[in-house]
Structure 1
Amino acid sequence: MWVTTGTGEDDSAARGPPDPLNRDRVLHAAVALADDAGIESLSMRRLAQELGVVPMALYKHVANKEELLDGMVDVVVGEIDPPVPDAGWRSAVRLRVLSARRALQRHRWARQVVESRTNKTPAVLDYMDSFTGMFLAGGFSVDLTHHVMHAIGGRMWGFTQELFDDPAGPKTEAPAEVPPAARAAMPRQMAGRYPNIVAFATSMTHDGGAVVGHGCDDQFEFEFALDLLLDGFERLHEQGWTSKQAKLERG
């Protein structure tokens, strides 16, 4: 049965024809699908179903799945805030990194895809160029900026390789059931073999909802490490550090 408007016309006619398929619509639909179902569920066929088109229609806008993934990274990069004018290099960098982190937290699949990309799109290169430019605009030498970028690594994208397992990452098979007696003996055995790990692992009260580790405050740990890096960059900048001089001093 048709649902009609007050003028007697059906709603679909009132809304007009659907938006034409274009690259932007394809990429945003792919991002939404990955957000909802996970990156493992993304395929050209599944995406075509979501858009209500045949798979071949997608290839007019993206050459293949790799180009689709590149474009999805571009969408995420486009969500990162631009540098804040007149904020000073340190604040500008910190705000940009934390904006990138928020973007990746909205799209939990994005880290995996960013790390897998071998092709740097213009949008990615623009972001990297702008990020580097914040240090240069702050008076950093090209030499120091080069080493800064090595040190900051994945943090420019809002993530870092963590010491602990990421519960949001790939899952392994559940371990076999451990008998109660053996389970009770495990803490003592662990403490005897790995006393330092046990000492720091049990030194904090943890919250079970974190990403970095089993209850660690992942946002705090990320910002703690970021601030340590920024402190070091600031010190080297103020000292007029150069890699040539550092190598001479090391002999």
Structure 2
Amino acid sequence: MAHQTQVTRRTPLSRARVLRAAVALADDTGIDSLSMRKLAQELGVVPMALYKHIANKEELLSGMVDVVVGEIGPPEPGVEWKAAVRQRILAARRALLRHPWASRVIESRAAPTPIVLAYMDSMIGMFRAGGFSVDLTHHVMHALGSRMFGFTQELFDAPQGMDPQAPALDEMSARYPHIMEIAGANHDRHTVVGPGCDDQFEFEFALDLLLEGFERLWRQGWSSTDRPPSGAPVRGTAG
């Protein structure tokens, strides 16, 4: 009986495969431990093989951002602008929650890639399609900031000195009564915003406030040219 030689063929290395492996490795071990050498080991190749597809670590990180942004699904077809924007941003948040390292990397990029620019362009397009002026849309995008990618910079990254059992609790309460009052409201210990804050609720709460404010300005026909000079009283307040 003739014996057939079975040749195991290695999956060809490609830029897409390298980036997917890098994202998976960062998900498993954290972004700080990611290196070209470890990525090469994960793929079963020598480090130099990666450089045929990725020029350097910075290009790798930008490509990883592209992978995450590519996971952000579009809104349902036919929905009005506010629902479309909300759906897209919450889809972005789900993508960021799958890849907790991604927000740091997005913030670290010196310039957006074409894929990131395309995502931002699609966000702008939702407001323009909803009837927003270029002027209002410009300011809306500034107000959204990183929220359009599903994350926002919180006031505190992690609670410090707020342990109810801490010896200095009485002193803290005397010095900073309002901080301690807020810190003790509805709190547990497992969130990013602060002990007890529901991160998803806080994100959606702020997002909805922004969207409602954008809608109000849009209906009013707001224009930045109507703003009072810097330092002048805002309309509706005492002068």
Matched, 1:100 2:92: yes
The residue aligned with 1:5 is none
Quote the offset at 1:215 in angstroms: 2.1
1:2-81 residue pairs with structure 2 within 5 A? 13=6, 16-81=8-73
Secondary structure, counterpart of 2:205 in structure 1: helix
Q: Residue deviations 1:131-162, cap 9 Å, x none?
A: 11100000000000000000011100100111
The residue aligned with 2:179 is 197
**What are structure 2's unaligned runs of at least 5 residues?**
234-239
- Cα RMSD between the aligned structures? 2.2
For normalisation by structure 2, the TM-score amounts to 0.89
Quote the offset at 1:9 in angstroms: 6.9
Q: Residue deviations 1:180-235, cap 9 Å, x none?
A: 9xx43x11111111111112222x22232222111211100000000000010000
The residue aligned with 1:160 is 152
Partner Cα separation in structure 2 for residue 130 and residue 238 of structure 1: 22
Check conservation: 2:81, 2:127, Cα contact below 8 A.
yes
Check conservation: 1:207, 1:217, Cα contact below 8 A.
no
Secondary structure, counterpart of 2:227 in structure 1: helix
Quote the offset at 1:119 in angstroms: 2.3
Amino acid at match of 1:21: L
The residue aligned with 1:131 is 123
Matched, 1:241 2:233: no
Counterpart among 52, 65, 74 of residue 82 in structure 1: 74
Partner Cα separation in structure 2 for residue 230 and residue 150 of structure 1: 13
**What are structure 1's unaligned runs of at least 5 residues?**
1-7
Check conservation: 2:172, 2:180, Cα contact below 8 A.
yes
1:185-224 residue pairs with structure 2 within 5 A? 186-202=168-184, 204-224=185-205
Q: Which runs of 4+ in 1 moved over 3 A?
A: 247-251
Give identity over the alignment, percent: 66
Q: Residue deviations 1:9-68, cap 9 Å, x none?
A: 79xx48x51210000000000000000000011111110000000100000001100000
